[in-house]
Structure 1
Amino acid sequence: MQENRTQMDRTDIALLDRLQRRGNATAQELGEALNLSASQAGRRRQRLEENGTIQGYRARLDPLKLGLHVQAFVQVQLARHGTEQGAEFNRLLRTRPEITSAWTMTGEADYLLRVWCADLPELNVLIHQVLLAHPTVARVHSQIVMDQPKADAPLPIS
């Protein structure tokens, strides 16, 4: 198996840990936390951005304040497993903003989708009029999230 891990020292790891928890930290703040100058912290961050270790920055939004009250995970099984069918379904995924992430899976389901909807009728439309109506889809199985006792966490880095 090919090793893709970036060579990092303890300071790089500490910098990444801080950025995962607070992506808008300034070079000055990172430097103070890591006992570096702001320019040293900035150069380290820039190197990790350029080599692709840091892929970008995002704001975490409150779904409830945006009117998104239903989160669900939807397993999708395709009718056929050809390259064309996969590409066709992937095109659908890119057009639907309520599908916030998607994974291809081993096992019974071919895809696992994370979706956010305003309410149950909106989820019903997504499942019945969009997913099940798509010619490549054979079956869907949805699970509605009741609570999230552990929020999406930073990656375990060491």
Structure 2
Amino acid sequence: METLDAYDLNILQHLQQDGRLTNTELAQRVGLSAAPCWRRVRALEQAGFIRGYRAEIDRHKIGLGVLAFVRLDAAHIGGQAVRQLESAIRARPEIVNCHYISGSGTFELQVVSPDLETFSRFAREVLLNLPNVKDMHTSFSLGEVKASGALPLEHLRTRTRD
């Protein structure tokens, strides 16, 4: 599966909005019968377009009121040193996202914590002691304007196969 048609895009759009749709509900919404819809969803999963399904949890309701954006500067940018840092980052559940970035810094992390005191302890005891960390800069979220994991698909609609 290299290209997506209008049905595939509609399936992706609906599943992004509600991953708990039954196959019957999904098929009805996209204008297919159940069997072809199920085959398309499986094909999208096997091709890697759909990587998984999960619940979207309100971090505030589970006591994670602090969201910090942490820029880590690596001491060394090559080979094993960076791989060790990547591995250490992946192992920490408090780090919910990590990206290589351009400009100053090497990694941009999103870190959640119950409160500022807990974050401060985590930063001092864990983040600054990760392998290959040279420096750290932190900013805090003062409020979310938009927090959606849904990806835009409109740019694909002009390139679809029919």
- TM-score of the superposition, structure 1-length normalised? 0.92
Is 1:127 the equivalent of 2:115?
Answer: no
Higher RCO, 1 vs 2 (CA within 8 Å, ≥6 residues apart): 2
In the alignment, structure 2 segments of 5+ residues that lack a partner are 157-162
Q: 1:34 to 1:82 in 2, by over 3 A?
A: same
Is 1:138 the equivalent of 2:134?
Answer: yes
Structure 2 equivalent of residue 46 of structure 1: 42
* Higher deviation after alignment, 127-136 or 99-108: 127-136
Deviations 1:16-43 (A, max 9, x none): 0000111111110011111211112111
- Moved beyond 6 Å, runs of 4+: none
The letter of the residue matching 2:94 is E
| Counterpart contact for 2:65–2:112, Cα < 8 Å | yes
The letter of the residue matching 1:57 is Y
Is 1:97 the equivalent of 2:93?
Answer: yes
Match of 1:66, SS?
A: coil
Q: CA RMSD in A?
A: 1.3
In the alignment, structure 1 segments of 5+ residues that lack a partner are none
Structure 1 equivalent of residue 5 of structure 2: 9
Q: Name the CA distance, whole Å, in 2 between partners of 1:41 and 1:127.
A: 47
**Counterpart selection for 1:60 from 53, 56, 60:** 56
Structure 1 equivalent of residue 14 of structure 2: 18
* Higher deviation after alignment, 81-90 or 112-121: 81-90
Q: Name the CA distance, whole Å, in 2 between partners of 1:145 and 1:20.
A: 25
Identity of aligned residues (%): 34
Q: Name the CA distance, whole Å, in 2 between partners of 1:24 and 1:135.
A: 40
Paired residue total: 154
